[in-house]
């Protein structure tokens, strides 16, 4: 039951994704904030949610328990979403002596303070969940006993295994006579499974660190395999309840009109999840403490870091393009037609298509990686993925510029330039290609950068790479605020009208998209040139023991071929055992 109480915390992550998706529309429609300023606010929030995890991980790495990081971040999550709901005019209008309408003149200083504070707290909540949610759930599952009665009803099949195992060990011992480590067999198969190394599982989960739902479902599947292919009925019903509630809320929220309920329902769900998690704290096992990393900056490692700076620049520019997804793309979709025939789709349809594109292109990247692995060239997969990310970023900006030019023509032909609140006679699904390409860019980036940095980075940095690559993207997202300001200032030189006006209908966002397309093209050329001039040495992945001690030396268990034989033996006979 403890795992279900942990998994219920994904309500906060799923609902916060939708809340931040519609925040751009809320700021421009209700607050009457200029679309560039609204985009700047949301880009700072998104950038913080990607950079703060690296700093929170430092606390975990210095010994702070994952439980406390998770508890504090969950409280910040529920408080932040609550503040966002309270920032809407109808909630506190009696206390602040303001009107209760969703109009700009009903927004006072109190509402502004609540909104900005709520966004900061929500960013802290997202960051804390990224660092500790999956790690804490994995730790709790590892400490639970394996079901000894699961699929062990055929003991006669185990009779021949000790002899086969002994033969494998003796044969291995002949080829590795210098090995000084003796084999201590586990007391039983069940005891051995409790001692199974989880490096592979942790590496797979690390790739999903920023996708909590997929990571938690993978944990459920791993626990099912650990228990011999079975899982308790009550846990299945609990997991189904968590997913059904989250899906139901996400489906229903777009059809709710009052903004106080759009923000308030996620706040209530997050509060319930936080209470369910915290009230049963006594049932959780003590979480593992992080091992302190001693960063070493030897001469060779400093040279590697310096040579990686050009790739960091590539990552930051990709972050600049990522920033337009939940800001300017969403603003383009505002007031477009969501109806197809008799069906009217919710405003979250583009978010779902974007998420589906990310999953599809992740599958594409995995296929490419597997093909390269069969050809003995797997080390080139991350570099190839980064190149694809830069190509997709340029294509997304080009398509977005063409669509925006067409949208401006429709607005002018129908005389809607001075009517920003009127519906535009143009289907919203014309924006689908740019969302799909942006999803491809983000997918290739997320799946390529961390493995690339892991191959090239010094051992002392490897544990931080999960958070470094999103952090670089976060810097680019925050830096996009500066890019908009610089482009706006340059565009109005010589007495010309700035490309960025108060509302989107009178702006030339298509010109800015062309600038980003040129920047992405230059980024691709930069990446290719740097890859040719400064080829990176391929490093074999370092074990977690090596990462933990911060050195490049082999850990005490590395190279022990006898123990490796035992693991291979049990994996080969897992279906029987």
The helix (run of H) or strand (run of E) holding residue 17 is helix 10-29
In terms of domains, do 307 and 217 share one?
A: no
Q: Is the pLDDT of residue 194 over 60?
A: no
Q: Can you tell me the mean pLDDT for 458-480? A: 81
In terms of domains, do 273 and 397 share one?
A: no
| Structural domain contains residue 351 | yes
| Structural domain contains residue 472 | yes
| Structural domain contains residue 208 | yes
Q: Is the pLDDT of residue 83 over 50?
A: yes
Q: What is the pLDDT of residues 374-389, one digit of tens each?
A: 888 888 888 889 999 9
Query: pLDDT grade, residue 143 (50/70/90)?
Result: low
| Structural domain contains residue 482 | yes
Q: Which residues of 250-267 are buried (b: 16+ CB within 10 A; e: fewer)?
A: beebbeeeebbebbbbbb
Q: Is the pLDDT of residue 188 over 90?
A: no
pLDDT of residue 402: 95
In terms of domains, do 226 and 350 share one?
A: no
| Structural domain contains residue 570 | no
Out of 52-56, 456-460, 497-501, pick the least confident.
456-460
Q: C-alpha angle 363/369/373, rounded to 5°?
A: 145
The pair of three-digit structure tokens given for residue 534, joined into one six-digit string: 């400064």
Query: Beta-carbon neighbour count of residue 159 at 10 Å?
Result: 8
**What percent of the chain has a predicted confidence (pLDDT) above 70?**
69
In terms of domains, do 302 and 365 share one?
A: yes
Q: Is the pLDDT of residue 118 over 80?
A: yes
R_g over Cα of the chain: 26
First to last CA, the chain: 27
In terms of domains, do 271 and 139 share one?
A: yes
Instruction: Please list the residues that pair with 427 across neighbouring strands.
Output: 337
Q: What is the pLDDT of residues 350-375, one digit of tens each?
A: 988 998 999 999 999 999 989 988 88
Query: pLDDT grade, residue 209 (50/70/90)?
Result: low
Q: What is the pLDDT of residues 278-319, one digit of tens each?
A: 876 656 655 444 433 344 445 555 666 676 777 888 889 999
Whole-structure pTM value: 0.75
Query: pLDDT grade, residue 555 (50/70/90)?
Result: very low
In terms of domains, do 306 and 435 share one?
A: yes
What's the structural domain count of the chain?
2
pLDDT of residue 522: 94
Q: What is the pLDDT of residues 27-80, one digit of tens each?
A: 988 888 888 888 999 999 999 998 998 888 888 878 778 888 888 898 998 999
pLDDT of residue 225: 61
In terms of domains, do 258 and 305 share one?
A: no
In 323-429 the beta strands, taken as DSSP E runs, fall at: 339-340, 343-344
pLDDT of residue 401: 94
Out of 200-209, 408-417, 519-528, pick the least confident.
200-209
In terms of domains, do 304 and 400 share one?
A: yes
Calculate the average pLDDT of the chain: 76
Nearest residue to 295 (alpha-carbon basis) of 552, 550, 54, 554: 550
In terms of domains, do 348 and 478 share one?
A: yes
| Structural domain contains residue 189 | no
Q: Is the pLDDT of residue 405 over 90?
A: yes
Query: At 444, which CATH number?
Result: 1.20.1250.20
In terms of domains, do 403 and 372 share one?
A: yes
In terms of domains, do 310 and 223 share one?
A: no
In terms of domains, do 406 and 279 share one?
A: no
| Structural domain contains residue 154 | no
Assess contact for 232 and 145: CB atoms under 8 A: no
| Structural domain contains residue 176 | no
Residue-range definition of the domain harbouring residue 257: 1-143+200-284
pLDDT of residue 7: 76
Assess contact for 133 and 70: CB atoms under 8 A: yes
């Amino acid at each position: 039951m403890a795992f279900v109480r942990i998994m219920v915390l994904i309500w906060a992550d799923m609902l916060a994704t939708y809340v931040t998706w519609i925040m751009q529309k809320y700021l421009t429609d209700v607050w009457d904030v200029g679309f560039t300023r609204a985009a700047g606010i949301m880009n700072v929030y998104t950038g913080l949610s990607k950079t703060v995890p690296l700093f929170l991980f430092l606390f975990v790495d210095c010994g702070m328990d994952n439980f406390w990081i998770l508890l504090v971040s969950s409280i910040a999550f529920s408080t932040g979403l609550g503040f966002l709901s309270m920032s809407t005019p109808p909630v506190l209008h009696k206390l602040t002596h303001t009107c209760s309408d969703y109009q700009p003149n009903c927004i006072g200083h109190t509402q502004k303070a609540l909104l900005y504070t709520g966004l900061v707290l929500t960013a802290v909540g997202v960051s804390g969940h990224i660092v500790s949610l999956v790690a804490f759930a994995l730790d709790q599952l590892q400490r639970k006993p394996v079901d000894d009665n699961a699929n062990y009803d055929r003991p006669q099949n185990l009779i021949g295994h000790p002899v086969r195992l002994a033969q494998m060990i003796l044969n291995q011992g002949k080829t590795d006579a210098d090995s000084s480590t003796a084999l201590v067999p586990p007391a039983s198969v069940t005891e051995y499974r409790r001692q199974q190394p989880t490096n592979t599982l942790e590496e797979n989960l690390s790739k999903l660190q920023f996708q909590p739902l997929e990571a938690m479902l993978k944990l459920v599947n791993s626990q099912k395999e650990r228990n011999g292919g079975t899982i308790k009925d009550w846990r299945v019903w609990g997991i189904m309840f968590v997913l059904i509630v989250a899906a139901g809320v996400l489906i229903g929220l777009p059809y709710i009109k009052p903004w106080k309920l759009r923000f308030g329902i996620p706040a209530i769900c997050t509060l319930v999840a936080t209470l369910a998690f915290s009230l049963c704290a006594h049932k959780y096992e003590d979480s593992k403490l992080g091992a302190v990393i001693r960063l070493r900056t030897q001469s060779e490692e400093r040279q590697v870091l310096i040579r990686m700076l050009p790739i960091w620049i590539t990552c930051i520019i990709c972050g600049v393009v990522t920033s337009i997804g939940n800001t300017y793309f969403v603003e383009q979709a505002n007031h477009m037609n969501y109806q197809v025939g008799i069906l009217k789709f919710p405003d979250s349809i583009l978010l779902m298509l974007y998420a589906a594109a990310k999953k599809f292109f992740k599958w594409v990247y995995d296929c490419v990686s597997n093909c390269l692995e069969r050809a003995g060239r797997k080390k080139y997969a991350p570099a190839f993925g980064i190149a694809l990310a830069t190509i997709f970023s340029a294509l997304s900006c080009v398509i977005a510029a063409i669509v925006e030019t067409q949208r401006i023509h429709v607005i002018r032909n129908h005389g809607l330039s001075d009517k920003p609140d009127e519906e535009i006679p143009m289907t919203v699904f014309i924006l689908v290609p740019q969302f799909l390409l942006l999803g491809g860019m983000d997918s290739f980036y997320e799946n390529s950068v961390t493995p690339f940095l892991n191959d090239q980075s010094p051992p002392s940095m490897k544990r931080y790479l999960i958070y470094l690559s999103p952090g670089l993207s976060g810097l680019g997202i925050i830096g996009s605020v500066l890019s908009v300001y610089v482009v706006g200032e340059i565009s109005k030189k010589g007495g010309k009208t700035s490309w960025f006006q108060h509302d989107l209908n009178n702006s030339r966002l298509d010109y800015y998209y062309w600038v980003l397309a040129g920047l992405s093209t230059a980024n691709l050329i930069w990446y290719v040139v740097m890859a040719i001039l400064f080829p990176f040495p391929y490093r074999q992945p370092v074990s977690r023991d090596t990462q933990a001690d911060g050195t490049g030396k082999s850990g005490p268990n590395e190279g022990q071929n006898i123990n490796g034989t035992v693991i291979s033996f049990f994996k080969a006979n897992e279906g029987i055992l």
